Structure 1
Amino acid sequence: MSDSKRTAGYHWSLLRQGDFAPSKDELPTRLANVEVTAGPLRFALGPAQEARLLLPLSKSEKVGKLPVSTSLRIKETHAVIDGSTSRLLDIMCTVKELESVFTEVVDEILSRIQEGTSVPSALRSTLHDFRALLFLTPTKTIPTEIVLGLVGELFVLNELLDRSPEAWRAWMGPQGGRHDFRAGSLALEVKSTRSASNTLVTIQSVDQLSVPSGGQLYLTRLTLEPTPGGVLNVANLYNRAALRCSEPEKLKEILLGLDCSDPSADEWNHLSFSFEGEEVFEVGGSFPRLTEDNFVGSKSPQGVLDISYKIDLSHASDCIITSDKKETIQNELIACLSPE
């Protein structure tokens, strides 16, 4: 590949491999195939291996105002290049996920300079053209199933808070509890699905459907259909819960168990849902499940460290309880939280 066809990404890759000419300069660089009166353009790396471009400026060249971006660091600086101090425009991509876009930006800057555009003008016009891609810092997106699961638990939490502002004390799921909600010997597991026709649910451990000693366990299956603009999302349900919770600051502490430090953040609210239905099952008897009682000696086989499996709730229709009994169960759970 000729120098004229090598992209900026090619040079940054070689720099990361230590491929640059020995120099006593302040930082290792590789020459671009473009040169202006003030000197050649150079590729460099930032302190954490960030992609970087150095654009030489003449003593009289005016830079003017440049666009501001959280994904780019742009500054005028001076550095020792080839034994002498050079005036430079130093542009560095600070967001790793945007490096591929930054590569296109740099290649376009070089092309415009090669066609005769001044360094400041080439930089300014290229950044303007790429603004939509480069000037938005990407945020991570929380996987759909995690968002759906949290929305389901917050939905149930709000049902319980309708009965008592102390109901948050029973919420154990994000804190690593065996069951999503528990008070005394009464436990409730919440499973959410996006489609009423999907009767399969995943059980994460061999003890997740083990009934508390001397108590009862119920499984709530919520059908929450993805709906643009739907009212059921993490932010709305959290805010509703916080308004009626006896200690709203505790809710945020609980959510930290899911690495959710900001329930209103876009990453947690890229999905919203509408409520389509609910079934509550009593776990026990004919309910399909695995527990340690299914293994010889009531213990998982030696060397088996983790077990997850799927169950089909269409085989548990005789375990569905009535809405009246559901209310009774919720009241009993709340009662277990009250001081004796």
Structure 2
Amino acid sequence: MRGLDLDPLWQVAEAQPSLPGRGRAHGTDFSTACGEILIAVNEDGSRAVLFPTESDDAFASDTTTKVQVTKRTLRFDGDEAVYVAVSCSADRLNGVFTTLAAEMIQASEGVSRPSAVILATLDEWRDLLSGEKSEILTESKLVGLAAELLTLLAVLSSDPHRDVTVWTGPQGALHDIRRGPEALEVKGTLSREGLSVEIHGLRQLEPPTDGRLHLVVFRLERDVEHGFSVPDLVRSILDLGVSRLEFVKRLGHVGYDQADEANYAELRYAVVDRYVYAVDGTFPRIVRASLVAGDAPAGVTLLRYTVDLAGATPTPLSTTEADAAVQTVAGVS
């Protein structure tokens, strides 16, 4: 699957002078059967994608969300053509619209009447386009998300199927990343001294049945000049060719809204260390088997505790062993 970064193309189009009767557009190097697909800037400054189509491509316009699909006849460089026009009327949604537009463009490549696949794709994304604005993530949560995305990027880079559904934490699963019996729990910290992680509940450090669990801990530091941001990690994962819809849904479940990427882009980090631990019988933890009754007493609904990782034990895996642990979740033995 060819990569598709639309933001720079829109920036070029937006830099063009806005003149009455003259559209601002830029090619994408992707085409329907009728011509090259264009990104464009409407007269009101909103972003759009133009899909060349046959004149008899009949469909009902969809204007029920902030992303609207209409049929338009337009002239560029003296040539008149019929387009399926997809426009975003809310600047706040530009981030998710950019991801949706890439999905539509790749689904429409080579298609003579693209309206059907465009409307089907829009229908799949409808919930993401009509949802309420999320609260800005705290930096603590953003660091935790960065650690998860760094780990997910490593897993998916080795997975030929690019199966983003291994990121199970956002769906309410016990562990952050899991494939079959292999699971990873991921933590991130900005602390410069010591190394400790907070564990939530009795089951977070329980391996899957007949499986293995590894704890991955990233120590990050702020690096404004040379560091990466969470939006950078999001784009890197999208560039792998994962299911955009599944990935963006999961981002939404952890409270990450692409509409807020300008804020998140200002927070940049570098990896100081990555530690990976095998969570086995020797690892310090509280699990159901630690309790006489085999579970929390009735009425106890929340348990949080801290594991100190700075001492002589537990011992982190070697780099080779740590990489192998990540590879198993990627489906590579």
Give the TM-score category using the shorter length.
0.5 to 0.7
Question: Which residue number corresponds to residue 247 of structure 1?
Answer: 243
SS of the residue aligned with 1:260? Answer: coil
Q: What pairs with 1:189-204 in structure 2 (closer than 5 Å)?
A: 189-204=185-200
| TM-score between the two structures when normalised by the length of structure 1 | 0.54
Indicate which of 282, 287, 310 corresponds to 2:306: 310
Match among 182, 205, 209 for residue 186 of structure 1: 182
Which residues in structure 2 correspond to 1:1-340 (within 5 Å)? Answer: 141-164=136-159, 165-262=161-258, 265-315=261-311, 317-335=313-331
Structure 1 position 318, deviation (Å)? 4.2
- Structure 2 distance, partners of 1:244, 1:264, is 22
* 2:251 aligned partner, one-letter code: L
In structure 1, the partner of 2:44 is none
Aligned partners of 2:156, 2:284: CA distance in 1, in Å? 30
SS of the residue 1:207 aligns to: coil
Give the letter aligned to residue 302 of structure 2.
Answer: D
Deviates more, 1:246-255 or 1:263-272: 263-272
The CA deviation at 1:162 is 1.6
Offset of 1:264 from its aligned partner? Answer: 5.6
Aligned-partner SS, 1:330: helix
Backbone CA RMSD of aligned residues: 2.2
Q: Considering only CA atoms, is the larger Rg found in Structure 1 or Structure 2? A: 1
Distance 1:316-1:189 versus aligned 2 partners, 3 A rule: farther
* Contiguous gaps of at least 5 residues in structure 2: 1-133
Question: CA 1:166–1:263 in 2, change beyond 3 Å: closer, same or farther?
Answer: farther
Does the CA contact (< 8 Å) of 1:152 and 1:191 recur in 2? yes
Q: Distance in 1 between matches of 2:266 and 2:299?
A: 40
1:180-237 deviation per Cα after TM superposition (whole angstroms, max 9, x unaligned): 1011111101111113423111112211001111111100111110122443211100
Letter in 2 for 1:148: V
Q: Secondary structure at the match of 2:233?
A: helix
Relative contact order higher in (CA < 8 Å, ≥ 6 apart): 2
Change over 3 Å in CA distance of 1:206–1:316 after alignment to 2:
farther
**8 Å contact from structure 1 (residues 188, 218) kept in 2:** yes
Aligned match of 2:53? none
Q: How far 1:140 moved relative to its partner?
A: 5.7
Aligned length: 199
**1:295–1:301 CA contact under 8 A, matched in 2:** no
1:161 positional shift: 1.9
Structure 1 spans left out of the alignment, 5+ residues: 1-138
Identity of matched residues, %: 26
Letter aligned with residue 214 of structure 1: D
- In the aligned structure 1, how far is the partner of 2:269 from the partner of 2:236? 16
Q: Provide closer, same or farther for how the CA distance between residues 160 and 153 of structure 1 changes in structure 2, counting only shifts above 3 A.
A: same
Whole-angstrom CA distance in 2 between matches of 1:330 and 1:156: 8
2:41 aligned residue? none
Tell me the CA shift for residue 171 of structure 1: 0.6
Contact 2:135 2:255 in 1 (8 A): no
In 2 relative to 1, CA 196–218 (structure 1 residues): closer, same or farther, beyond 3 Å?
farther
User: Given the two structures, how large is their TM-score scaled by the length of structure 2?
Assistant: 0.56
